[in-house]
Every structure is written in structure tokens, then in C-alpha cells.
Chains A and B, each alone.
Chain A
Amino acid sequence: GEDVEQSLFLSVREGDSSVINCTYTDSSSTYLYWYKQEPGAGLQLLTYIFSNMDMKQDQRLTVLLNKKDKHLSLRIADTQTGDSAIYFCAESIGSQGNLIFGKGTKLSVKP
């Protein structure tokens, strides 16, 4: 079945760049998403990328998609302590657009 894999933890220093990686299995996914979950809160959509794109940039966020390798990454430039959260990669499947989530990567930003 469909599966989305992410590393569970990432620790960076404030001001450095963070790169969170994700692999997915469903080659028919049309959209791939990055969600952010702050402590005690629900998920918030950060950005998404259409499968015919290689890259999408939105302020400090850069999403790279390698469709051949089914690899997605999220780069956060100039990481701040407020970026500390769990980041979920998700792929959409089927016509209903149901989301399959990865297990989440906990990003810790040290001052």
C-alpha cells in the first residue's frame, strides 16, 4: 500500500538551514504537502507542490521534488526557534484527495 517515510528527528542551530526529507511510494500522487504541528496544536498547511514541478519557493521555504526517486524535501532557511515543531510530509491519493501522512519529523532549533 501507500507509504510515506520521514526521519523522526532533526536538530539544528538557530540561523542554520534545516532540510527535512521524505520519500513516498505512490507514483500517481498529484500533490505533495508539508504540514507543521506546533506543540498542543493541530496541523497547519505550510506548502504544497504539484507533481509536475521540481521546485517551489515561498519566502524561507524551498520544496524540492524528485519524482523519479519519489523524494521530497523541505528546506527552511535561517531557521528560528519558532520553527521548532513536528513537520509532516503527506501525499494525496485517489480522486477523493485523501492524505497519507508520514510519521513526522521533530525539528529542534537550538539558540
Chain B
Amino acid sequence: EAQVTQNPRYLITVTGKKLTVTCSQNMNHEYMSWYRQDPGLGLRQIYYSMNVEVTDKGDVPEGYKVSRKEKRNFPLILESPSPNQTSLYFCASSLVAGTPYEQYFGPGTRLTVT
């Protein structure tokens, strides 16, 4: 089944404790992206990747890192999480960058930083 998977789905952590949210797609997609969703703010793009070893900042990259060492995986790294990073995070992928290729979304990771 074609899908985007994220792990973990739920995470509660403390300020400053490094964490990684994994994202994997099995569709051989070139383009991958991370979003955060906050009430009243909709979805905002954190980072995106056009292909392996090619990543770029989105609208809200501060406090996050990403890597794209292989095509299927695009982990999101929070080196020192803070409470303002409490949010719902979505990973997405599409066949290639550019329109109108559909972006397929993962199920989301709900992160709480205390």
C-alpha cells in the first residue's frame, strides 16, 4: 500500500531533550516536506527536500533540522525542543517537486514539549 508513515504518532517530552520524528514513504517520491499545524494558523511549511541531499527552509525553520540521505526517509530533528514547538506535525511527499503533483500526507505526529 502506497503511504507516508510517521513515527512516533504521539510524543510528550521535556524542554531541551533532543528528539527525532521519522518520516518514510514507499512511493519513490522525490519531493518531501514537513509542516506543522497549529490552531488558528493552519499548516506552515518547516523544511522541504527536492531530492536526496537537497533540502531547503520553508516558512518556519527555526529550531528544526532535517536530513535527506536516502530517497524514502526525511527525518525531522529537534535538537533542543521548546514549549513553542508543541504542535501537530505532518510529513508529505510527492512524485516530483512542482505542480500539480499531489502531495500525500502522513497521519501526523502530535508533539507536546513541557
Contacts and interface: CB of A to CB of B under 8 A. Distances in A.
Interface string B3-38: 010000000000000000000000000010101000
A96 B105 contact: no
B105 A50 contact: no
B6 to A, nearest CB: 9
B42 A96 contact: no
Contacts of A48: 99-100, 102
Interface string B21-64: 00000000001010100001111110010100000101000000
Nearest to B9: A40
B102 A103 contact: no
B31 A88 contact: no
A30 B99 contact: yes
Contact of A45 (B58, B98, B103): B103
A40 B10 CA distance: 12
B45 A42 contact: no
Nearest to A99: B103
A96 B97 contact: yes
19 contacts: A8-B40, A42-B90, A42-B92, A42-B105, A42-B107, A42-B108, A43-B92, A44-B105, A45-B103, A48-B102, A50-B100, A92-B98, A92-B100, A97-B94, A97-B97, A98-B33, A99-B45, A99-B103, A103-B42
